[in-house]
A and B are shown apart, each in its own frame.
Chain A
């Protein structure tokens, strides 16, 4: 799920670039310096997870994990995602450099929203965490696919058709993402619950 060069009209691409830079700057400011190693590790996971391909009939889809990044990083998620997307486009040629802003927004906005959702719901039991993690994972991907469709429409495509295609082709990804995120979150809740704490207290002070 990446937008390539030349798909979007220039004005939209530039607008997305500016918007993503602004959000990234906000996200970087919200990041506590003690959290930098954690952000780095999650960024590396996000960067590499796109290489995990799930075979699906004649084609294959790969993991995106915007939901999981949001759950783990909260407001720092956008910083993590824009760096991950930049390196993916530079090294793996996933998506073009001119569409970088659009790609970052497509993954980063769902990540931020999933982090918010997770923080609001915050399960106290193992099962609750599994469910909330799955919700964040699946929902994050669903949202990313919707943003993808919305952006493609700006390139002059028919909305309903694009939306249908984007959602249908990512149907298995939603399921896989929900499973992966759910199990990861419940596992972290069991072995290292402090990793799921987003430093909101420290952030509201600064």
Chain B
């Protein structure tokens, strides 16, 4: 009875421990290979993200740059403002002359 019990315990022990030991060994073996791979992938991803970030910031700078339509709008405003001012001034002068 005790011997049977001992055998059972041993079996149980083996069942429980061995696989875990095996897995542990397995995972250790396989973990080293993918971790190198993962690190490489990580590094390349980081590089790509950095490149994208610089592109985004360049794009943002470009978006902040005023385009030609705004430049012409501003020149139009200036001509308009001074045109109105000149018109008013001319009216005043003519009124005084008359």
Chain A residues with CB under 8 Å of chain B are 33, 36-37, 39-40, 43-44, 47-48, 51, 83-84, 87-88, 91-93
Contact = CB atoms under 8 A, between A and B. Distances in A.
Contact of B82 (A39, A88, A93): A39
Contact of B85 (A36, A88, A92): A36
Interface stretch (B12-20, B40-48, B49-57, B71-79): B71-79
B9 interface: no
B81 A48 contact: no
**Looking at A44, A83, A88, A93, which has the most chain B CB atoms within 10 Å of its CB?**
A44
A40 B78 contact: yes
B79 A44 contact: yes
A15 B86 CA distance: 30
Nearest to A92: B66
Contacts, number: 48
Nearest to A38: B82
Given A33-B90, A33-B93, A51-B66, A40 B79 contact: yes
A112 B71 CA distance: 25
A92 B66 CA distance: 5
Given A51-B71, A92-B66, A92-B70, A87 B89 contact: no
**Looking at B78, B86, B93, which has the most chain A CB atoms within 10 Å of its CB?**
B78
A47 B74 contact: yes
A60 to B, nearest CB: 10
Given A44-B79, A83-B81, A91-B66, A37 B71 contact: no
